[in-house]
Structure 1
Amino acid sequence: MTVDRSAPTTTDTTGTAGDRGLGRPLAQASDPIDRVVRLAPKWTVFVLAACGLLVLGIIVWSVRGTVTSSVSTTGLYNERGAATVSTDTAGTVDKVLVKLGDEVTTGQPLVSLVGGTSLVSPQDGSVTSILVSDGSTMVAGQHAARVTDLAAPDFVVTLVPTGLTGTVVVGLPVRMAVSSAPSSTYGYLLGTVDEISSDPFTVAQVATRLGLEEQVVAAQLGTAPGLLAVVRLQYDPSTPSNYAWSVGQGPPFVITQGVPVTAQIILSEKSPLDVVFPDPTPGS
């Protein structure tokens, strides 16, 4: 009888023949960092990527961004070439003879009154405001319309706190949000500080300069005296308002006398790097 003395072969139901004990050990990566990456949860990859993009954004902003120092004040729009048409006596409007935007000449009838009299234009210009309608009852001194010589440059006035004497100076740029032209749609009206008073102005003095009622000026500028700043608007004849805006051509209409404005006077504009690492040179 022949006896087979070869070693018995065992079969592992979870692997191939010849595997014993707990099975084969896991292959080990030669690079420890690679092992960490392989064992880390997948979401950490996205976190690291987001952090990288954030750092990149900060670097770009520090080089190309701007840190703005400014002071914000309230102001009023002034049509330098505006002339108001009013009646000397009480009466009733028969008919308004013009419409907004009409070009008129000196002496041209604008509003006819019952009884045969008329209110006429005091100058050549454009009708920028009509304050009455057919059948309106008017009292002596009441305004009926406004005619503006658009060739005369408009401006904005604002009262700057007296504590900013020497800080707000002529030549500083100004961005203005106009109440009748929302900045979210039309951007900001652009201008430059053209004049700054050395002594405080009262609200009554500002009202006299603008030809507005003191109550109207006080409602917008407040009652405290301040340095009178006159902002010269950046002329742009290609826009409907004749002035430059930060977005496109601005509103499709002219800005009229007494419209409230929020003025941002730009004191300085620097890159973030200049703020963190200022120039040590005196006077810089």
Structure 2
Amino acid sequence: MDNTESTSKKPTPNQIFRSVSLERLSNPEQLDSLLTVVTPKKWIALACMLMLGCVVLLWAFFGSIPVKIEGKGIVMNQKGFLFNIPTKMGGTVQQIHVKPNDQVEEGTLIAQIFDAEENLKLDRADLRVVNLTRDLQRLRDEVAVEAQAQSEAQESEIAAKKYNIEQLDRRIEDLKKEVEVRRKLYEDGLVSHSVLIDTEDRLSKSRIEKEVTGAAIATLRFNLAKGYRTEEVKAKEQELFKATEARDLLRTRQPYYNIYSSTTGNVLALLASEGDVVQPGAPLVWVEYKGAETSYVVYGYFPVEKGKRIEIGFKVQVAVSTVDTQEYGYLTGTVKEVSGYAVSKNSIAKIVHNTELVEYLSQGVPAVVQVLIELETDPITHNYRWTSGKTPPVKISTGTVCTLQAILHRIRPIHYVLPIETFKIAKTP
């Protein structure tokens, strides 16, 4: 039996393939099975590596790395609605009634300035007014007494002259009658012509004397109406008036001089402290006018050796000091103006009006390049554009300091491996 089985499994001389092989070939499942050389996981890993390599090559040849320089900046009102509230008199700052970020209305008390010299001037002016008032009253009393006596004398003289006029009137009437009588006698030849002429002459003199006496009465009455020593009294009154005006002027600049806000606004910074000695015209408070809504720009300051490479149109990233850049990123802006020469600290002070900010922006060097940066806005939300796409809850306002990164140009990454000029991207904003 064993021999029979072994004989059946062995191929006959006319049989080429074994029966087991023939059965496997006749089975369809066996025909469809593949011979596994590489597993699918390895194929996926290989594909990922090839894709990553392609991406790196594409980035190396077509990507770019920005070359930046850093500077300092400050946000400012684009329309320039900034003003100082100065003191009109010099002295010591006694008290400041506002602080940064306070809202002030027109007429709000800002500060008080005390001037000891001005106080002494006011005391002297007050004393002069008191003395002149007393002198004027003394003069008026004296004039009143003298005027009364003079008036009584003039009234007596007027009365006497009136009596003389009455006497002259009677004499004139008598002389008129006498002239008529003598003229008749002369016509009758009873008296000489000289007698008539003499009588007419005495009549004329009486009339003249009456006229002179009447004029004297008019003069006395004019002097009586004009008053006594009036010019002297007027001069003293004028002197008192001028002294009072000078005193009132000093009172408008009281020793404790109150400084008020001339308009509505937001206090950005205090430019003086209590106890400081200030000169007339010195600014005390820096205020931003609160009118219609306005936009802001950034004044940027870069070291001269690097800043001179900045051109109009360059892009700038603005890191605002009050905003977390890790969460919200940077403001984006474009350079609109570049100073043609280096600006000094005095030039910066004309814009920011704050010594500490001047030192911060100038970065400790005597001169820097000043640029004006226009912030970009989102055309949909109309808010300022942030690199994160989110708008922070903090409001940007004048006086906010920031750090700037200006993009000078971009370089293809392959340039760092193969430093060939053709691989380097030209300067772009």
Bucket of the pairwise TM-score, normalised by the shorter protein:
0.5 to 0.7
SS of the residue corresponding to residue 37 of structure 1 reads coil
Change (3 A) 1:61 1:4: closer
**What is the aligned partner in structure 2 of residue 58 from structure 1?**
56
Find the partner of 1:252 among 380, 389, 394: 394
Change (3 A) 1:248 1:230: same
Change (3 A) 1:137 1:85: same
% identical aligned pairs: 19
Deviates more, 1:58-67 or 1:79-88: 58-67
1:157/1:230 contact within 8 Å kept: yes
Structure with bigger helix share is: 2
Q: Which residue identity is paired with 2:268?
A: S
- Distance in structure 1 (CA, Å) of the matches to 2:366 and 2:394: 35
- Distance in structure 2 (CA, Å) of the matches to 1:218 and 1:70: 23
Structure 2 runs not aligned, ≥5 long = 8-18, 21-29, 115-255
Give the Å deviation of 1:228: 2.0
2:297/2:375 contact within 8 Å kept: no
**What is the aligned partner in structure 2 of residue 69 from structure 1?**
67
Deviations 1:72-108 (A, max 9, x none): 2223334442224466642335x65x99585x66x33
- Distance in structure 2 (CA, Å) of the matches to 1:239 and 1:145: 34
Alignment of 1:116-131 (within 5 A): 119-124=259-264, 126-127=265-266, 129=268
Structure with bigger strand share is: 1
**Structure 2-normalised TM-score?**
0.43
Give the Å deviation of 1:190: 2.7
SS of the residue corresponding to residue 6 of structure 1 reads helix
**What is the aligned partner in structure 2 of residue 108 from structure 1?**
107
The question of 1:190 aligning with 2:332 is answered yes
SS of the residue corresponding to residue 194 of structure 1 reads strand
Q: Which residue identity is paired with 1:74?
A: K
- Distance in structure 1 (CA, Å) of the matches to 2:257 and 2:359: 36
Give the Å deviation of 1:112: 7.2
Alignment of 1:64-103 (within 5 A): 65-79=63-77, 80-85=80-85, 89-92=92-95, 100=101, 102=103
The question of 1:173 aligning with 2:315 is answered yes
Answer with 1 or 2: which has the greater Rg. Answer: 2
SS of the residue corresponding to residue 49 of structure 2 reads helix
Q: Which residue identity is paired with 2:81?
A: G
Q: Which residue identity is paired with 1:92?
A: Q
Q: Which residue identity is paired with 1:120?
A: Y
**What is the aligned partner in structure 2 of residue 159 from structure 1?**
302
2:304/2:369 contact within 8 Å kept: no
The question of 1:218 aligning with 2:218 is answered no
SS of the residue corresponding to residue 51 of structure 1 reads helix
- Distance in structure 1 (CA, Å) of the matches to 2:274 and 2:257: 14
Give the Å deviation of 1:37: 0.8
**What is the aligned partner in structure 2 of residue 37 from structure 1?**
38
SS of the residue corresponding to residue 74 of structure 1 reads strand
**What is the aligned partner in structure 1 of residue 192 from structure 2?**
none
Change (3 A) 1:151 1:265: same
2:70/2:302 contact within 8 Å kept: no
Q: Which residue identity is paired with 1:185?
A: E
Change (3 A) 1:7 1:35: closer
Q: Which residue identity is paired with 1:91?
A: Q
Give the Å deviation of 1:271: 7.3
SS of the residue corresponding to residue 68 of structure 1 reads strand
**What is the aligned partner in structure 1 of residue 404 from structure 2?**
263
Give the Å deviation of 1:240: 11
- Distance in structure 2 (CA, Å) of the matches to 1:59 and 1:178: 36
Over aligned residue pairs, what C-alpha RMSD do you find? 5.1
- Distance in structure 1 (CA, Å) of the matches to 2:274 and 2:381: 33
Change (3 A) 1:101 1:198: same
**What is the aligned partner in structure 1 of residue 46 from structure 2?**
48
**Structure 1-normalised TM-score?**
0.60
Give the Å deviation of 1:263: 1.2
Find the partner of 2:349 among 207, 225, 238: 207
**What is the aligned partner in structure 1 of residue 199 from structure 2?**
none
Change (3 A) 1:144 1:211: closer
- Distance in structure 1 (CA, Å) of the matches to 2:300 and 2:408: 17
